[in-house]
Amino acid sequence: MWRKWLSRIAQLFIGQSVAQGVGLFAGLLLVRWMEKDDYAAYTLAASALAFLNISTDLGLSAAVLALGGQCHGDNDRLARLVRSALYYRRLLLAYCAPVMLSLLPWIFHHHGWTGYTPWLISLAVLASTWFHAGAAVYGAVLKLQYAILPLQIVDATANGIRLTSILLLGSGHITALAAVFINLLGSLWQYAGNHANVSRRLRGTRQAQPIEHAALWQFTRPLIASNLFYAMQGQIAIWLVTWVAPSVAIAEVGALGRLGQLVLFLNMFVTLLVQPYLARLKDQQLYRARVLQISLAETAGALAIATSGYLFPALWLHILGARYAGLGSEAALMITLAAIVFLGDCFYYSLIARCHTVRQWLRIPVTIAGIAIGALLSPPIGTRAAIIFQFYMLAPYTVLQGVLLVKYLRTCRVASERPAVLIQRGVLTS
């Protein structure tokens, strides 16, 4: 057992170092090689893409992993679950597409980017979301089955395609439209690769049936409101900066966000190893013990990351290049914010791995309160103010997930102790 887990961890570390390292390097080349005006436009497009990816998921990928953990040995049921999830994701995209095609070109025109480019960017964003939806659902199956190597090969190849395209274009020749289409190429490859890997494992299966639709609806229904809000929450700072600050501030906030992505690279370890492991545990007491141990390690990692932002801000800024020099304090704040969000995500993954989705709607009033306070104390009229505003908006999310996890762990402890209490009272026999 230990050899198996050591092999998985080593495989994950090496594979993710290559796959995510190539992807992060490609993203940082965009920061270094694109003009600030073009990078501001690309930041808006990436913000719209992130919003669509979350709002067309609403917990469906997590549902495939969590519900699939209960039937991971039954390929037929698992395949029906996948087909139901794909149906729902494409239905959600059909509802979101008209809204995005109306809003995104209008926002581009607000900043003076006119012509056919805004429309082509909008269409490329929608196509990227379509392929990302399928890749995410198929990827959840591969995570559940610990098929780490095939998943990493696909991700590494997709990021390699992005990096090669950027290198071929070269510094000073990458426009916002080119960057969006480069991302579309990578998403297309991820969809094709994950689909091929899952098809080999789940061949010869039937179509989805009402029982799978009902199971997905029961899982995602408590998450719909909170996930829709979460889709907006991550982009609110960019959108507000878009309206009240110059395009230079948009580019700087987007570039500093790349540093946050370096930190959230650790999320891959959680989603590829920790979450599937917790989803497959049968014993509640063992789950409680493992979550406590894992949460301590995650907290220590978050503290180390946040500390590095204040000790070595120049090193972090060197990653972004000369165009963003002088943003030392802003970089330290962004690294700290990313560490806080990473910890909140870890708590959230530990909960949904057990299909525990209740009270997630609380993130809506909690975050709205944070946004209201942030708008009063630090309106995002510039780069630094926008980052501080995100603290008011995102830190309550981590606090809420921590509280919900503690309450659920207490429930697990009571459930595990109840039979022993009944035996002592003579109600049950040992």
DSSP 53-107: HHHTTTTHHHHHHHHHTTSTT-HHHHHHHHHHHHHHHHHHHHHHHHHHHHHHHHH
- Contact between 425 and 294 under an 8 Å Cβ cutoff? The reply is no
Q: What are the two backbone dihedrals, phi and then psi, of residue 107, each rounded to the nearest 5 degrees?
A: -65, -40
pLDDT of residue 4: 66
Tokens of 364: 């809506």
pLDDT of residue 402: 92
**What is the C-alpha to C-alpha distance for residues 389 and 102, in angstroms, rounded to an integer?**
28
Q: Tell me: do 123 and 241 sit in the same domain.
A: no
Q: Tell me: do 270 and 126 sit in the same domain.
A: no
Q: Tell me: do 247 and 101 sit in the same domain.
A: no
Q: Tell me: do 164 and 217 sit in the same domain.
A: yes
Q: Tell me: do 49 and 156 sit in the same domain.
A: yes
User: Number of structural domains, the chain?
Assistant: 2
For the chain, how long is the longest CA-to-CA vector?
Answer: 80
Comparing C-alpha atoms, which of 270, 291, 276 is closest to residue 407? 291
**What is the C-alpha to C-alpha distance for residues 105 and 180, in angstroms, rounded to an integer?**
14
pLDDT of residue 128: 92
- SS3 assignment, position 320: helix
**Does 276 reside within a domain?**
yes
**Does 94 reside within a domain?**
yes
Supply the range of the domain harboring residue 187: 10-222
**Does 228 reside within a domain?**
no
Residues near 115 by beta carbon (within 8 Å), at least 6 away in sequence = none
pLDDT of residue 230: 66
Tokens of 164: 């090669």
**Does 82 reside within a domain?**
yes
Domain end point (choices 176, 197, 222): 222
Q: How many CB atoms lie within 10 A of CB 427?
A: 9
Q: Tell me: do 211 and 277 sit in the same domain.
A: no
Q: Tell me: do 121 and 213 sit in the same domain.
A: yes
Q: How many CB atoms lie within 10 A of CB 296?
A: 10
- SS3 assignment, position 321: coil
Domain end point (choices 193, 222, 251): 222
Whole-prediction pTM:
0.64
**Does 2 reside within a domain?**
no
Q: Tell me: do 141 and 217 sit in the same domain.
A: yes
**Does 425 reside within a domain?**
no
List the pLDDT tens digit at each of the 430 positions of the chain: 667 667 666 666 676 677 777 887 888 888 888 888 888 888 888 888 888 888 888 778 888 887 877 666 667 778 888 888 888 888 888 888 888 888 888 877 776 677 788 889 989 999 999 999 889 888 888 888 777 788 888 988 998 999 999 999 887 788 888 999 999 999 999 999 999 988 887 765 556 567 777 778 777 777 777 677 666 666 666 777 776 666 677 778 888 887 777 676 677 778 777 878 888 787 888 888 888 998 998 899 889 988 988 888 888 888 787 778 878 888 889 889 989 989 998 899 888 888 787 888 788 888 889 888 988 888 877 788 888 888 888 889 899 999 999 999 888 776 655 544 434 444 344 3
Q: Tell me: do 187 and 299 sit in the same domain.
A: no
Q: Tell me: do 64 and 151 sit in the same domain.
A: yes
Q: Tell me: do 309 and 345 sit in the same domain.
A: yes
**Does 426 reside within a domain?**
no
Comparing C-alpha atoms, which of 36, 37, 85, 87 is closest to residue 61? 85
Comparing C-alpha atoms, which of 36, 72, 20, 90 is closest to residue 353? 72
**Does 427 reside within a domain?**
no
Q: How many CB atoms lie within 10 A of CB 283?
A: 11
**What is the C-alpha to C-alpha distance for residues 352 and 168, in angstroms, rounded to an integer?**
42
Cα three-residue angle 239-240-242, rounded to 5 degrees:
65
pLDDT of residue 424: 47
Instruction: Go through 113-140 and write b for each residue having 16 or more CB atoms within 10 A of its CB, e for each that does not.
Output: beeebbeebbbbbbebbbbbbbbbbbbb
Q: Tell me: do 362 and 399 sit in the same domain.
A: yes
Comparing C-alpha atoms, which of 288, 322, 300, 82 is closest to residue 202? 82
Domain end point (choices 173, 192, 222): 222
Tokens of 174: 């990458």
- Cα distances from 338 to residues 342, 367, 409, in angstroms, run 6, 16, 25
